[in-house]
């Protein structure tokens, strides 16, 4: 089975050059302390129970970062201002295969046949949080692969549904589209024009 995954991976047109040449930028270098980087796959606090990433930096394509900057500005203008905790950003395609092996359900983890939008640097998983980095309550936690995490599920308290709707509104105003099955996942429009990437981040985990 493992061999099948690698055969499929190498059959895809995947770019493996430098990060900068692929248009990827370090979000913390652009947005600084305006957002909080909390990559869940750089820890074992994720659905696999294992650390998937060997890095904890959030890289996105410059187009996605521009959209994220707009979203941050819009959130700061709300009656009760907030910002975002970023749970996942650019994901090398090779590491995406590990997630697919752990949970082969295309409703939640993109099939390797078409690749992940995270692997194009054009998708971000995030949640609203306060300015101390504390996540605000939402209908579910990250990577809760149940109907309650769906954007069209209304089996949650009204306060949480309003917060989810506000998140969706802000991200769409910033040029992102939402994913029906994951309230936390947003794709920057134009992702189809970006190549799949298997560029290693290579910075390692923060000490």
Distances (CA, A) of 168 to 32, 71, 141, 165, 181: 23, 10, 16, 5, 13
Q: Please give the Cα distance from 61 to 50 (Å, whole number).
A: 26
- Measured CA to CA, the distance from residue 3 to residue 164 in angstroms comes to 40
Residue 157 makes CB contacts below 8 A (sequence gap 6+) with: none
Q: Which residues contact 138 (CB under 8 A, 6 or more apart)?
A: 127, 128, 160, 163, 164, 167, 183, 184
Count the alpha carbons within 13 Å of 129 in the hemisphere toward its beta carbon.
Answer: 20
- Residue 11 CB partners (closer than 8 Å, separation 6+): none
- Tokens found for residue 175: 């040029």
Tell me, yes or no, if 182 is annotated catalytic. yes
Is residue 32 within 8 Å of residue 80, measured between CB atoms?
A: no
- From 20, 78, 94, 182, active-site residue: 182
* Residues assigned a catalytic role: 182
């Amino acid at each position: 089975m493992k061999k099948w995954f690698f055969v499929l991976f190498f059959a895809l047109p995947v770019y493996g050059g430098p990060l900068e040449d692929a248009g990827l930028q370090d979000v913390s270098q652009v947005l600084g302390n305006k957002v909080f980087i909390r990559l869940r796959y750089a820890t074992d606090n994720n659905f696999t129970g294992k650390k998937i990433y060997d890095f904890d930096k959030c890289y996105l394509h410059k187009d996605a970062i521009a959209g994220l900057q707009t979203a941050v500005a819009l959130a700061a203008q709300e009656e009760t201002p907030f910002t975002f905790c970023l749970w996942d950003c650019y994901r090398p395609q090779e590491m995406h295969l590990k997630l697919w092996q752990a949970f082969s359900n295309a409703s939640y983890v993109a099939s390797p046949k078409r690749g992940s939008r995270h692997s194009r640097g054009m998708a971000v998983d995030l949640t609203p949080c306060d300015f101390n980095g504390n996540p605000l309550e939402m209908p579910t936690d990250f990577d809760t692969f149940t109907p309650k995490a769906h954007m069209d599920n209304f089996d949650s308290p009204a306060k949480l549904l309003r917060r989810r709707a506000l998140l969706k509104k802000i991200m769409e105003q910033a040029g992102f589209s939402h994913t029906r099955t994951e309230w936390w996942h947003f794709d920057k429009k134009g992702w189809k024009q970006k190549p799949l990437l298997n560029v290693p981040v290579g910075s390692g985990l923060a000490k």
